[in-house]
Amino acid sequence: MATSGLQHVAAMYAGVVAPPLIVGAAVGLSPTELTFLTGASLFTAGLATFLQTLGVWKIGARLPFVNGVTFAGVAPMLAIIDTTENKADALPVIFGAVIVAGLLGFIAAPYFSKLVRFFPPVVTGTVITLIGISLLPVAFGWAQGPNPGADDYGSTTYLGLAGITLVIVLLLRRFTRGFLKQIAVLVGLVLGTLIAMPFGVTDFSPVTEADIVGFPTPFHFGAPQFAAAAIISMCVVMLVSMTESTADMLALGEIVDRPANEKTIAGGLRADTLGSAISPLFNGFICSAFAQNIGLVAMTRIRSRFVVACGGGFLVLMGLSPVAASLISVVPRPVLGGAGVVLFGSVAASGIQTLVRAGLEKDNNVLIVAVSLAVGIIPITAPEFYHSFPETAKIILDSGISTGCVMAVLLNLVFNHLGRRRDDDEVTAPMEPGQEIGESRTRPAAPVH
């Protein structure tokens, strides 16, 4: 049980520490404070995992789920930080918004479980793809170095370290198997850090200064603040998180031969949202199910929820040991960037896999994906696109994930639900090269014999 639980932690460790690293760096936290924020995320991930696997009352799917900080919240949180004048207030504003979003999500959980049909693969696939695409620029920024204002930012040394780390991860994924293959990203971070040491870009001071035992002090960064625009943004993230968790529960239920019904989904969503509402008390963010661990359950065929609960125990212990949490702070930014390309790219790829099952041979679905992706990547490709809008509106609009999610849901309602006709389901052939959009693309009718 212990080794299997550790394997689940290893499979998701890089994913759970990446969001606090991104957010903490954007706020300008010191290495010590960054270590504290990382440890808090590990601690709250363990608490959320307990809620999900063991369950209390009607809370918890009681499936082998590992919970942790969701990537969906990173881009909106960065937008909140950018629009907050005093960076010291950014984390309290985020924490306040997460608390409200978590409580509202907890209330909405039983009702949301009845709305699964409005979030088909065409919507969830689009959103997951946008999450990966939105986070890739972060990995590219890491690869160029720790300080954008430094003369050596983007130097061949930094880019070389990122490239070496990326190659190590790819080689491990290609030529290893089993446990080592699952922790390829973690091994890549360790080897990349060792290779970076002779170049003088590795700082071990966070480890030497960290305490062996510590506790994530409640509201360490200040009492939560409640800003309307930030709350709306986090509520959209909560909607995305609940959508992802619903899809994950349906998938995991099939794997463990216990199909997730409405009651299971409602319990799982209650665990996600309550865990998210409690998380800011200990300086954590929105928590959601980690999809990569579903693959681990399928591969190992170890389906016990108590094994995953054991992994949650390890997460709590790591969160209570600042030394353990500080180890990730030692990893140089370029090394994180090389691993981040795989990590964030994998998120986008999983979204594409979902879209493959979305029925893109239907014109309506193609339009939904096309427009939603286009709207979602506006903040990435044209960062000043919304420059004339009010600052409160920009918090939402500058998050491609939020705007893309809203657009996908609305378009899916318009094209696939409202005023639907029988011929709307007609499956058309893909466009041929050089064919005009207006040309007929319906498949020829079968000959009558």
Tens of pLDDT along 372-392?
Answer: 999 989 988 888 888 888 766
Taking the C-alpha atoms of residue 68 and residue 45, their distance in angstroms, rounded to an integer, is 4
pLDDT at 72: 74
Its domain, for residue 172, covers 2-358
Residue 371 placed within a domain: no
The larger pLDDT score, comparing residue 277 to residue 357, is at 277
Amino acid at 163: G
The larger pLDDT score, comparing residue 448 to residue 2, is at 2
The larger pLDDT score, comparing residue 424 to residue 165, is at 165
The larger pLDDT score, comparing residue 20 to residue 326, is at 20
Q: How confident is the model at residue 292 (pLDDT cuts 50, 70, 90)?
A: low
Q: How confident is the model at residue 188 (pLDDT cuts 50, 70, 90)?
A: confident
Q: Using the 8-state DSSP alphabet, how is residue 259 labeled?
A: -
Q: How many CB atoms lie within 10 A of CB 371?
A: 16
pLDDT at 446: 46
Residue 370 placed within a domain: no
Q: To the nearest whole percent, how much of the chain has pLDDT over 70?
A: 86
pLDDT at 437: 43
How does pLDDT run across 79-95, given as a tens digit for each residue? Answer: 888 888 788 888 999 99
Residue 77 predicted with pLDDT over 70: yes
Residue 160 predicted with pLDDT over 90: yes
3-state secondary structure 125-181: HHHHHHHHHHHHHHHHHHHCCCCCCCCCCCCHHHHHHHHHHHHHHHHHHHHCCHHHH
Mean pLDDT of 55-67: 87
Q: Which residues of 1-38 are buried (b: 16+ CB within 10 A; e: fewer)?
A: eeebbbbbbbbbbbbbbbbbbbbbbbbebebebbbbbb
Residue 448 predicted with pLDDT over 50: no
Residue 449 predicted with pLDDT over 80: no
The larger pLDDT score, comparing residue 363 to residue 432, is at 363
Residue 173 placed within a domain: yes
How does pLDDT run across 10-48, given as a tens digit for each residue? Answer: 667 767 887 888 888 888 888 778 888 888 888 999 999
Residue 150 predicted with pLDDT over 50: yes
Mean pLDDT of 278-289: 89
User: What is the model's pTM?
Assistant: 0.68
Residue 43 placed within a domain: yes
Contact 142, 135 (CB under 8 A): no
pLDDT at 401: 74
Residue 434 predicted with pLDDT over 60: no
Helix axes 74-82, 90-112, angle to 10 degrees: 140
Contact 329, 34 (CB under 8 A): yes
Query: Tokens standing for 256?
Result: 């463990």
Q: How many CB atoms lie within 10 A of CB 360?
A: 18
Mean pLDDT of 253-262: 76
Residue 101 placed within a domain: yes
Q: Which residues of 299-315 are buried (b: 16+ CB within 10 A; e: fewer)?
A: eeeebebebbbbbbbbb
Residue 288 placed within a domain: yes
Residue 429 predicted with pLDDT over 50: no
Residue 99 predicted with pLDDT over 90: yes
Q: How confident is the model at residue 433 (pLDDT cuts 50, 70, 90)?
A: very low
Query: Tokens standing for 353?
Result: 């896999």
pLDDT at 232: 87
Mean pLDDT of 231-241: 84
Mean pLDDT of 106-117: 83
Residue 24 placed within a domain: yes
Residue 430 predicted with pLDDT over 60: no
Residue matched to tokens 């929820």: 305
The residues near 159 (Cβ < 8 Å, ≥ 6 apart) are 143, 144, 334
What's the number of domains the chain is made of?
Answer: 1
pLDDT at 299: 59
Nearest to 242 by CA among 273, 215, 216, 221: 273
Nearest to 42 by CA among 249, 295, 274, 313: 313
Mean pLDDT of 318-322: 83
Residue 397 placed within a domain: no
How does pLDDT run across 351-373, given as a tens digit for each residue? Answer: 888 888 887 878 888 999 999 99
Mean pLDDT of 108-120: 79
